[in-house]
Amino acid sequence: MTDSERGGRLGEEFFTPGTSSFTEFLAAHRPALLPTRRPFPDGVRAAPDAFPHGTTVLALAYRDGVLIAGDRRATMGNLIAQRDLEKVHPADDYTAVAFAGTVGLALDMVKLYQVELKHFEKIEGIPMTLNAKARRLAGMIRQNLGQAMQGLAVVPLLTGYDHTAPDGEKGRIFSFDVAGGLYEKTDFHAEGSGSPYARGALKKLFHRGMSRREAALSALQALYDAADDDSATGGPDINRRIFPIVSVITEDGFERLPEPETEELTREMVEHRRSSPDGPTATP
């Protein structure tokens, strides 16, 4: 019997002690609400250009924590499906997640992950550790494996500020594969179709102890390089005033850089590219 059939009253399962995982609760009582259910019969794959896909996201550690950023383009084959997609989202006060892959499923997974972390904290009375948050997201991706094998993959990038880590190592970065494999990355990482070019740019620009401004400019340079070589990655759209999303996580929590700040840094970077189209050289 559904809640509406009971006259709006919650079912007994809502008052029975059980798991602190909201995903496991849904799987047991409302599996149809999970975004990980397979949409097609066995043997059927989604056409590669039938659903919007998000592309390049990246993260890098810096002096005060960790920065996470993403371009704004979603594509369907050779079509631009959306120019202002938001691929970077706070998961809680000290954790953020960005995604590449099938947009609709990714957005649902991000929302479910946000509820998962909040549900755990309410049930247990304490927040998850950052390692536990990474493992929990890996489990959710593993549940999506059936959809990934049908061509609807989601590949997130997780960042967080770890208060328990030594100084200089509090900003942490985790990547995943479509089967839920979990990998912690050192210094920087990128995911999506433009990620090889973004990682190449970060390799020459990254250095330990970067300021927030240096980290943000490096992220913008890396996304610009990705857009320069990958048609699915969108560069800054000056005319429409659509700029990459850049967010940081420090001891003060998650903060999305204000748009005026991102615009100023983007315009500075684009102006520099007029005289140096290939971007800055590697630091000695």
Q: Measured between alpha carbons, how far is 179 from 137 in angstroms, rounded to an integer?
A: 11
Amino acid identity of 127?
P
CA 158 vs CA 131, 133, 266: distances in Å: 11, 9, 24
Q: Measured between alpha carbons, how far is 35 from 24 in angstroms, rounded to an integer?
A: 13
Q: Measured between alpha carbons, how far is 192 from 194 in angstroms, rounded to an integer?
A: 6
- Residue among 55, 56, 233, 266 flagged as catalytic: 55
Residue 77: CB partners within 8 Å, gap ≥ 6? 48, 49
| 102 is annotated as an active-site residue | no
Q: Measured between alpha carbons, how far is 169 from 240 in angstroms, rounded to an integer?
A: 38
Q: Shortest CA distance to 115 belongs to which of 85, 137, 100, 138? A: 137
Q: Which residues are catalytic?
A: 55
